Amino acid sequence: MTPLSAAPPLVIDERHIDRRLYPHGIAFMDGQYLRMSEAKISVLDWGFLHSDATYDTVHVWNGRFFRLDLHLDRFWSGIERLRMKLPYDREEVASILSQCVALSGLKAAYVDMICTRGSSPTFSRDPRQADNRFIAFAIPFGSVANEEQLERGLHVAISDTVRIPPKSVDPATKNFHWLDLVKGLFEAYDKKAETALILDTNGHIAEGPGFNVFFVKEGALRTPAFGVLQGITRRTVFDLCAEIELLVRAADVTCAELKGADEVFITSTAGGIMPVTRIDHTAIGNGRVGPITRQLTDLYWQKHDDPAWSTPVVYP
Ligand code: PLP
């Protein structure tokens, strides 16, 4: 692997990049740093053909990775569960991610690490014969909620769609199985909502496209326990609650409990803690962003400069 100081200078001629297709950013694949428009995988990669892949997304804020160790832990456990192998160790992956950000010059970035099953030269149907592929990239930071939605709270629809059972696709392994989530999104748009929450196999609330959900009732918080990705932002909410002595637990959440809550918010690396003020036709609480949501959001962003929670990117 090329260390940052020895990385070749990357001169990008902006005139040759179609920004409608490719954002600014730098990718790493097959051993090379590339502009986003050059980062292409084979159509024979099982990651593309069968969603046979795991990935993780970490963000960079003010030039610092937020909770990088937790993201690397989750990525590595996904790779092991899917019986994949990487040619890089943990420190090398951390360094590649840092170089993608440094070479892109981004101070606020959305950073992905991906391991796909890859493909075999003989197009074998045996997954053990595939050469697994590692891809990383850093592009500008993006959020589930835009500025207006962060200010007034998101409008969410609860979809009838059921999240794929954990015994079929384990949500704890972060994956690209999104057909259920995308179906939920289209149903939400049909109902004039901005995003969706979908159900677990028991009819309880599970999660949404790229986020977990929490509700606050009488000062205590709850988030679904079953059939969801153990989000790093979700975990961060537990850590922040411990710090400010708020009660929080993971357990089943019904649709009625969510609609009857004092406050609701969603959590994702893509946006942090984001308020929800309407679910279907019901206003949550008084219909405005609640005080506990605001307090946790402020604390969450304060932690981004704290060396105990963040790691600096080394820019050239
Ligand atoms: N649930 C799903 C299905 C996701 O894809 C994501 C993030 O992409 C989350 C929850 C939130 O996880 P995190 O807080 O680690 O970003």
From 56, 170, 268, mutation site for ligand 1 pocket: most ligand atoms within 8 A of C-beta = 268
> Are residues 133 and 211 located together in one domain of the fold?
no
Q: Could you list the residue range(s) of the whole structural domain that residue 157 is in?
A: 147-304
Domain presence at residue 181:
yes
| Mean pLDDT, residues 135-153 taken together | 97
Q: What's the CA-to-centroid distance between 209 and ligand 1, angstroms? A: 8
Q: What's the CA-to-centroid distance between 229 and ligand 1, angstroms? A: 6
Domain presence at residue 316:
no
> Are residues 201 and 271 located together in one domain of the fold?
yes
**Chain segment 262-312, per-residue pLDDT in tens:** 999 999 999 999 999 999 999 999 999 999 999 999 999 999 999 999 999
Question: Atom 3, ligand 1: which residue's CA is nearest?
Answer: 210
Instruction: Return the CATH number at 233.
Output: 3.20.10.10
Instruction: For residue 117, give the 3-state DSSP assignment.
Output: strand
Domain presence at residue 311:
no
Nearest C-alpha neighbor of 241 from the set 268, 222, 269: 222
Give the span between the Cα atoms of 183 and 202, in whole angstroms: 19
Question: Atom 2, ligand 1: which residue's CA is nearest?
Answer: 210
**Chain segment 147-180, per-residue pLDDT in tens:** 999 999 999 999 999 999 999 999 999 999 999 9
Range name among 13-22, 69-78, 205-214, 238-247 with the lowest pLDDT average: 13-22
Model pTM?
0.93
Q: What percentage of the chain exceeds 90 in pLDDT?
A: 90
Give Cβ neighbours of residue 63 (< 8 Å, ≥ 6 apart): 107, 312, 313, 315
pLDDT of residue 163: 96
**Chain segment 11-52, per-residue pLDDT in tens:** 666 666 566 667 899 999 999 999 999 999 999 999 999 999
Question: Atom 6, ligand 1: which residue's CA is nearest?
Answer: 210
Percent helix, strand, coil in the chain, to 5, is 30, 30, 40
Assess whether pLDDT exceeds 80 at residue 3.
Answer: no
pLDDT of residue 14: 63
Q: What percentage of the chain exceeds 70 in pLDDT?
A: 93
Question: Atom 7, ligand 1: which residue's CA is nearest?
Answer: 210
User: Would you give the end-to-end CA distance of the chain in angstroms?
Assistant: 17
> Are residues 132 and 153 located together in one domain of the fold?
no
Kindly tell me the burial class for residue 61, based on how many C-beta atoms sit within 10 Å of its own C-beta (0-12, 13-18, 19 or more): middle
Give Cβ neighbours of residue 43 (< 8 Å, ≥ 6 apart): 49
- If pLDDT is split at 50, 70 and 90, which confidence band does 5 have? very low
Domain presence at residue 309:
no
Last residue of a domain, one of 140, 169, 184: 140
> Are residues 299 and 155 located together in one domain of the fold?
yes
Do the Cβ atoms of 56 and 137 come closer than 8 Å? no
- Residues in contact with ligand 1 (CB, 6 Å cut-off): 57, 207, 210-212, 229, 231-234, 267-269
Give the span between the Cα atoms of 128 and 89, in whole angstroms: 20
Q: What angle do CA 210, 214, 219 make, to 5 degrees?
A: 160
Q: What's the CA-to-centroid distance between 315 and ligand 1, angstroms? A: 28
Assess whether pLDDT exceeds 80 at residue 100.
Answer: yes
Domain presence at residue 116:
yes
